[in-house]
């Protein structure tokens, strides 16, 4: 994936205290289309000529943008992706507000997205209800009297979207990508990932104290006496720490071999001696038999032991926390919402102000009913001509990769044949699904924000679990059409580019190929290269986890990849925190390989079109504009807290390094700007895999 989906962060973000009347003229006036910003793919007015491009190309290309775009108080980071994301969000808001009034002409999908948006926006009603809508679920948890009753309760909680203990999702079998099997994986943590529980530095210890304080406050808001809440928060932290210690690190999870433990449900249930799996699957509406993968056997052994030796009151406390946590966003009163924002967005990531409620409600509808909303969005903002242009570019980049594989001096002819087979089998998915998701069975009730969230989660869990045992649907999308992002799916060998991305400042039909290939072309190349990065290369053309490399070529690949691991390990992102070269390896390989492929594809295009490479536009040659367009997509301001979180847990390097480190490895870049061999923007020994 190119980048974490923005919506994942927003679901933890705050509510504004303004209840907005949806149907009034005043409300409409607030969303009257803002003056369309002049977003350009290559923007010479953003360049800071006081910086030497050979010293720091990121600052050279982006300083003008930084000056024009101070970091908004409600954001932990703000860049060109957020710039477009925010613009898309305004477009989505207009669609939702038009669908929100009880107009006679609404389609079934418009009724759902409109009513869900209106329910989410109605903070007065949500505040008035308090936690009453969660009472039945809290009572279920309170009724848990013994460990023997846990499986049925947990199955129910998973069905309504509560992340306690572990996950059950469908996944393609690693060895046989045509089979969709049950996939049991470690979960159940409230902090971003397992190392937050195990690091021993002062900052991490402080964050754990802050997390316990947050859990305590949520318990108090839910009506617990203070002393009890303090005790319960400690219980939650202790149980989660135990789960975390038994879980794989995020770096270990990058190697699919570490997650590949095929078994079947019957054998797995015998391992769980203190947890009746049959009771769980019945309540979760999950398969009771058949093939499955136990992604983390060590974790499930520990979970089994934990069920046996943990007092039942502590398990109730842990489940109560995860229930409240799951609904503490836009479905519970603003006090919960505010506290959740305070810890996740402010304390962990440094945001200073809550995002306005409409933004969060828009993201919520996109998350729950993304293809209903996306269908209207695409009709309005992604005409067939845009889809064709996007497809043309994708095909050109694939052609460049084909030629590039031929020219690799380190790979044997034997492996090259297999690499090309895989490349030729890549399926290109552009814009939106061919077949839209059917939401007819999801009931959205006006004025019932919490009930709607619960039903939407239930709908989604059931939709997911029914895939198990059925043929794989390769036409399905994991991102919604308005998303400003893209991804490669290794088990399906397909690249996915949502419609929301193919717009300025990343792609424009008003600009030339130099700009578009430098920017969007590099993204297309990035996703394609994921099929051949440290993780993707382990899957064959059909998506099976099957080694198609000769031993010698594999060793050469690893040695070349190791050059990048060391390069990024050496970068200190914030004082005391270095990047993790192994965790970010796949993304770094994709960044470098992707830009290289875009460059090759663009050179071919330019040659075919007889472009004069010495002619200047706005004072820049075509190749210089190619590199600036690449750099300008990454202009981003980030708070130190967020930068720290990113360096610790994000498989993507921070944007400054996605620009400078990648360009340092490309002598073609240094040539375009006549950089000396000793310049900071020219690596003495460049790394290169693809
Ligand atoms: Zn990526």
Whether the predicted pLDDT of 660 surpasses 90: yes
The alpha carbon of 279 and the centre of ligand 1 are apart by a number of angstroms equal to 39
The alpha carbon of 273 and the centre of ligand 1 are apart by a number of angstroms equal to 40
Whether the Cβ atoms of residue 61 and residue 47 lie closer than 8 Å to each other: yes
pLDDT reported for residue 19: 23
Distance CA 561, CA 688 (A): 8
The alpha carbon of 478 and the centre of ligand 1 are apart by a number of angstroms equal to 14
pLDDT reported for residue 1: 41
The alpha carbon of 533 and the centre of ligand 1 are apart by a number of angstroms equal to 10
Among 632, 379, 384, which Cα is nearest to 482's?
379
Mean of pLDDT values over 303-326: 98
* Sole residue written with tokens 């289309």: 33
Whether the predicted pLDDT of 101 surpasses 80: no
Whether the predicted pLDDT of 11 surpasses 50: no
pLDDT reported for residue 309: 98
What three-state secondary structure class fits 571?
coil
Distance CA 518, CA 564 (A): 22
What three-state secondary structure class fits 76?
coil
**434-456 confidence digits (pLDDT tens):** 999 999 999 999 999 999 999 99
pLDDT band of 192, cuts 50, 70, 90: very high
> What tokens were used for 169?
């999702």
* Terminal Cα-to-Cα distance of the chain (whole angstroms): 18
Mean of pLDDT values over 60-85: 95
Question: Within 349-499, where are the H helices?
Answer: 357-381, 384-407, 413-425, 449-465
Whether the predicted pLDDT of 138 surpasses 80: yes
**20-50 confidence digits (pLDDT tens):** 222 233 333 334 444 557 899 999 999 999 9
The alpha carbon of 579 and the centre of ligand 1 are apart by a number of angstroms equal to 16
Facing residues of 79 across strands?
Answer: 636
Whether the predicted pLDDT of 526 surpasses 50: yes
The alpha carbon of 527 and the centre of ligand 1 are apart by a number of angstroms equal to 6
Whether the predicted pLDDT of 500 surpasses 60: yes
**Cβ atoms within 10 Å of 98's Cβ, excluding its own:** 17
Say how many CA atoms lie within 13 Å of 54 toward its Cβ. Answer: 13
Percent of the chain with pLDDT over 90: 93
Average pLDDT, the chain: 93
**Cβ atoms within 10 Å of 309's Cβ, excluding its own:** 8
The alpha carbon of 665 and the centre of ligand 1 are apart by a number of angstroms equal to 18
Among 346, 323, 321, which Cα is nearest to 453's?
323
Sign of CA dihedral 189, 192, 194, 200: negative
pLDDT reported for residue 100: 83
H or E segment and range at residue 497:
strand 494-498
How far CA 517 is from CA of 606, 622, 662, in Å, comes to 11, 11, 16
The alpha carbon of 486 and the centre of ligand 1 are apart by a number of angstroms equal to 8
Distance CA 597, CA 305 (A): 50
Q: Which pTM does this prediction carry?
A: 0.89
Distance CA 156, CA 149 (A): 12
The alpha carbon of 587 and the centre of ligand 1 are apart by a number of angstroms equal to 5
| pLDDT: which is higher, 424 or 38 | 424
pLDDT band of 103, cuts 50, 70, 90: low
How far CA 291 is from CA of 135, 182, 271, 310, in Å, comes to 37, 7, 15, 30
User: DSSP code of 344?
Assistant: I
Residue 536, classified by CB atoms within 10 Å of its CB into exposed (0-12), middle (13-18) or buried (19+), is: buried
pLDDT reported for residue 240: 98
Facing residues of 574 across strands?
Answer: 577
Question: Within 533-609, where are the H helices?
Answer: 551-569, 585-608
pLDDT reported for residue 470: 94
**338-355 confidence digits (pLDDT tens):** 999 999 999 999 999 999
The alpha carbon of 4 and the centre of ligand 1 are apart by a number of angstroms equal to 9
**554-565 confidence digits (pLDDT tens):** 999 999 999 999
The alpha carbon of 372 and the centre of ligand 1 are apart by a number of angstroms equal to 26
The alpha carbon of 30 and the centre of ligand 1 are apart by a number of angstroms equal to 36
pLDDT reported for residue 35: 52
pLDDT reported for residue 246: 98
The alpha carbon of 524 and the centre of ligand 1 are apart by a number of angstroms equal to 10
Give Rg (Cα) of the chain: 25
**264-286 confidence digits (pLDDT tens):** 999 999 999 999 999 999 999 99
pLDDT reported for residue 401: 97
The alpha carbon of 526 and the centre of ligand 1 are apart by a number of angstroms equal to 6
Distance CA 244, CA 299 (A): 9
The alpha carbon of 3 and the centre of ligand 1 are apart by a number of angstroms equal to 6
The alpha carbon of 497 and the centre of ligand 1 are apart by a number of angstroms equal to 12
The alpha carbon of 493 and the centre of ligand 1 are apart by a number of angstroms equal to 14
The alpha carbon of 570 and the centre of ligand 1 are apart by a number of angstroms equal to 21
- Beta strand 262-264 with 291-294 is antiparallel
- Beta strand 166-172 with 180-186 is antiparallel
* Sole residue written with tokens 């199955």: 155
Distance CA 350, CA 72 (A): 11
The alpha carbon of 595 and the centre of ligand 1 are apart by a number of angstroms equal to 12
The alpha carbon of 666 and the centre of ligand 1 are apart by a number of angstroms equal to 19
- Backbone φ, ψ for residue 192 (5° rounding): -55, -40
């Amino acid at each position: 994936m190119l980048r974490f989906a923005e919506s994942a962060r927003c679901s933890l973000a705050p509510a504004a205290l303004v209840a907005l009347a949806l149907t009034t003229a005043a409300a409409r006036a607030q969303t009257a289309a803002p003056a369309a910003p002049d977003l350009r793919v290559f923007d010479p007015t953003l360049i800071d000529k006081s910086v030497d491009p050979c010293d720091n190309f990121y600052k050279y290309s982006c300083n003008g943008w930084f000056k024009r775009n101070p970091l908004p108080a409600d954001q932990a980071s703000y860049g060109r992706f957020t710039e477009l994301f925010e613009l898309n969000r305004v477009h989505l808001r207009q669609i939702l507000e038009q669908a929100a009034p009880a107009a006679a002409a609404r389609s079934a999908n418009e009724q759902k997205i409109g009513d869900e948006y209106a329910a989410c926006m109605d903070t007065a009603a949500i505040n008035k209800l308090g936690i009453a809508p969660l009472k039945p679920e809290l009572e279920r948890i309170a009724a848990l009297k013994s460990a023997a009753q846990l499986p049925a309760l947990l199955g129910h909680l998973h069905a309504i979207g509560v992340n306690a203990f572990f996950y059950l999702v469908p996944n393609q079998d690693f060895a046989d990508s045509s089979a969709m099997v049950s996939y049991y994986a470690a979960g159940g943590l409230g902090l971003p990932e397992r190392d937050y529980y195990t690091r021993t530095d002062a900052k991490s210890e402080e964050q754990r104290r802050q997390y316990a304080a947050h859990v305590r406050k949520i318990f108090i808001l839910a009506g617990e006496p203070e002393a009890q809440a303090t005790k319960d928060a400690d219980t939650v932290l202790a149980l989660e720490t135990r789960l975390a210690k038994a879980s794989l690190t995020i770096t270990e999870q990058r190697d699919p071999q570490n997650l590949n433990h095929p078994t079947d449900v019957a054998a797995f249930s015998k391992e769980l001696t203190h947890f009746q799996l049959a009771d769980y699957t019945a309540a979760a509406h999950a398969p009771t038999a058949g093939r499955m993968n136990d992604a983390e056997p060590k974790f499930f052994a520990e979970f089994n032991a934990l069920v046996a030796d943990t007092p039942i009151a502590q398990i109730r406390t842990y489940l109560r926390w995860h229930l409240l946590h799951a609904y503490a966003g836009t479905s519970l009163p603003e006090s919960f919402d505010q506290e959740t924002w305070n810890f996740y967005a402010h304390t962990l990531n440094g945001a200073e102000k809550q995002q306005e409620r409409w933004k969060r409600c828009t993201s919520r509808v996109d998350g729950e009913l993304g293809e209903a909303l996306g269908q209207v969005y695409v009709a309005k903002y992604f005409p067939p001509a845009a889809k064709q242009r996007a497809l043309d570019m994708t095909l050109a980049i694939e052609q460049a990769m084909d030629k590039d594989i031929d020219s690799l001096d380190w790979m044997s002819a034997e492996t090259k044949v297999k690499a090309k087979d895989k490349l030729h089998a890549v399926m290109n998915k552009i814009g939106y699904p061919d077949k839209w998701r059917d939401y007819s069975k999801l009931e959205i009730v006006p004025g019932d924000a919490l009930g709607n969230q619960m039903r939407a989660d239930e709908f989604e869990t059931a939709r997911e679990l029914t895939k198990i045992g059925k043929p794989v649907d390769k036409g399905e999308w994991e991102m919604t059409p308005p998303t400003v992002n893209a991804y490669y799916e290794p088990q399906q060998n397909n690249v996915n580019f949502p419609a929301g991305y193919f717009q300025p400042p990343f792609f424009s039909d008003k600009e030339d190929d130099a700009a578009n290939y430098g920017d969007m072309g590099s993204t297309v190349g990035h996703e394609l290269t994921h099929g051949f990065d440290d993780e993707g290369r382990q899957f064959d053309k059909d998506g099976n986890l099957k080694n198609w490399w000769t031993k010698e070529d594999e060793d050469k690949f690893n040695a070349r990849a190791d050059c990048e691991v060391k390069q990024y390990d050496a970068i200190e992102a914030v004082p005391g925190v270095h990047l993790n070269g192994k965790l970010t390896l796949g993304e770094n390989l994709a960044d470098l390989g992707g830009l290289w492929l875009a460059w090759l594809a663009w050179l071919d295009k330019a040659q075919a079109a007889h472009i004069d490479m010495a002619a200047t536009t706005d004072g820049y040659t075509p190749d210089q504009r190619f590199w600036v367009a690449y750099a300008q997509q990454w202009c981003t301001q980030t708070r130190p807290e967020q930068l720290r979180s990113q360096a610790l847990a994000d498989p993507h390097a921070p944007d400054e390094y996605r620009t400078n480190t990648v360009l340092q490895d490309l002598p073609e870049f240094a040539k375009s700007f006549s950089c000396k061999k000793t310049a900071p923007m020219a690596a003495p020994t460049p790394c290169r895999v693809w």
